Structure 1
Amino acid sequence: MHEKAATIRPFAVTHRSLLAIALPAALALITEPVVGMVDTILIGRLGDAALLGGVALGAVAFDVLFALFFFLRLGTAGLVAQAVGAADRAGAAVHLMRALIISLILGGLFLALAWPVTEIMVRIFGPEPAVEAAFRDYFGIRLWSLPLVLLNFTLAGWLYGRGDARTALLLALVINGVNAAASLYLVLGAGLGVPGVAWGTVLAQLVATLGGLWLVLRHYEGVARFLALVPADALRQVEPLKRLFSLSASLIIRSVALMAAFAYFSAQGSRAGATVLAANAILLNFFALSTFFLDGLATATEQLCGKAVGAGYRPAFRRATRLGLGWGLVIASGLSLLLFAAGSTLIDWMTTAEDVRIAAKGMLIFAALTPLSGMPAFIADGVVTGATMAREMRNGMVVASALFFAFALLLEPLWGMSGLWVALHLLFVFRALILFAMVRVREPSLFPDPGRA
Structure 2
Amino acid sequence: MTRPAGSEAANPSASSRRFLALALPSIAASLMVPVASLVDTAILGHLDELEPLAGVALGGVIFDLLYWSFGFLRMGTTGLTAQAFGRGQLGESRALLLRAGVLAMVFASLLLALQPVIGWVSFALLEGEPAVEVAARAYFDARIWAAPAVLLNFCVMGWLLGMQRTRPILVIAIVANGVNVALDYVLIVRLGWGAAGAGWATMGSQYVALLAAVPIVRRAWTRTHSAEPTAPVLSWTHLAPLLHLGRHIWLRTLALITTFALFTNFSASFSSTLLAANAVLLRVLGLASYFIDGFAHATESLAGVLVARDDKQGLRKLLGVAMSWGLATAGGFALAFIAFPQLFSLLTDQAELLAAVIAARGWLVLVLLLGSIAYVLDGYFIGLTAGVTLARAMLFSFGIGFLPLALWARYGDGGPQALWWALLCFMAARALSLGVCVPATLR
Q: Does 1:370 align with 2:350?
A: no
Q: Is the 8 A contact 1:258 1:397 kept in 2?
A: yes
Aligned pair partner of 1:390 in 380, 387, 390: 387
In structure 2, what residue type is equivalent to 1:99? A
Task: For residue 60 of structure 1, report the CA deviation from its aligned partner.
Answer: 5.2
Aligned to 1:304: 302
Worse-matched range after superposition: 424-433 or 154-163: 424-433
Which residue matches 2:405?
A: 408
TM-superposed CA distance for 1:72, in Å, is 1.3
How has the CA–CA distance of structure 1 residues 387 and 52 changed in structure 2, closer, same or farther, with 3 Å as cutoff?
closer
* CA contact 1:282–1:347 (8 Å) conserved in 2: no
Which runs of 5 or more structure 1 residues have no equivalent in the other structure? 1-6, 445-453
Partner of 1:246: 244
Task: Say which is worse superposed, 295-304 or 122-131, in terms of deviation.
Answer: 122-131
Q: Which residue of 1 aligns with 2:169?
A: 168
TM-score, structure 1 length as denominator? 0.79
Correspondence for 1:289: 287
Using the TM superposition, give the Cα deviation of residue 321 of structure 1 relative to its aligned residue in structure 2, in angstroms: 0.7
Please state if 1:209 is matched with 2:248.
no
Partners of 2:189 and 2:357 lie apart in 1 by 37
Q: Which residue of 1 aligns with 2:117?
A: 116
Q: 1:311 to 1:193 in 2, by over 3 A?
A: same
Specify the code of the residue in structure 1 equivalent to 2:439. R
Aligned-pair identity in percent equals 34
Q: Alpha-carbon deviations, 1:157-203, whole Å to 9, x = none?
A: 11111222221111111212334456767889999998877666555
Matched, 1:218 2:219: yes
Query: Is the CA contact (8 Å cut-off) linking 2:160 and 2:166 kept in structure 1?
Result: yes
| 3-state DSSP of counterpart to 1:221 | helix
Bigger CA radius of gyration:
1
Asked whether the equivalents of residues 35 and 176 of structure 1 are also in contact (C-alpha less than 8 Å), the reply is: yes
- Which residue does the alignment assign to 1:71? 72
Distance in 1 (alpha carbons) for counterparts of 2:78 and 2:317 = 19
Indicate how the Cα distance of structure 1 residues 252 and 42 shifts in structure 2: closer, same or farther if over 3 A, else same. same
Alignment of 1:39-438 (within 5 A): 58=59, 61-125=62-126, 139-181=140-182, 201-221=202-222, 228-232=229-233, 235-238=234-237, 240-266=238-264, 269=267, 280-343=278-341, 346=344, 350=348, 352-353=350-351, 357=355, 361-405=358-402, 408=405, 418=417, 420-438=419-437
CA drift at 1:52: 7.8
Distance 2:270 2:108 in 1: 39
Counterparts of 1:243 and 1:56, CA distance in 2: 36
1:118, CA displacement in angstroms?
3.0
Task: Write the letter of the residue equivalent to 2:308.
Answer: G
Q: 1:364 and 1:26 mapped to 2: Cα distance?
A: 24
Moved more, 86-95 or 309-318: 309-318
Unaligned residue ranges in structure 2 (runs of 5+): none
Residue 27 of structure 2 aligns with which residue? 26
Q: Is the 8 A contact 1:93 1:226 kept in 2?
A: no
CA distance in 2, matches of 1:114, 1:55: 18
How many residue pairs get aligned? The number is 433
3-state SS of the aligned residue for 1:96?
helix
So what's the TM-score if we normalise by structure 2? Answer: 0.81
Q: Which moved more, 1:53-62 or 1:421-430?
A: 53-62
Distance 1:71 1:38 in 2: 27
1:362-388 superposed Cα distances (whole Å, 9 cap, x missing partner): 543332222222211111111111100
Contact conserved, 1:31 with 1:173, CA < 8 A, in 2?
A: yes
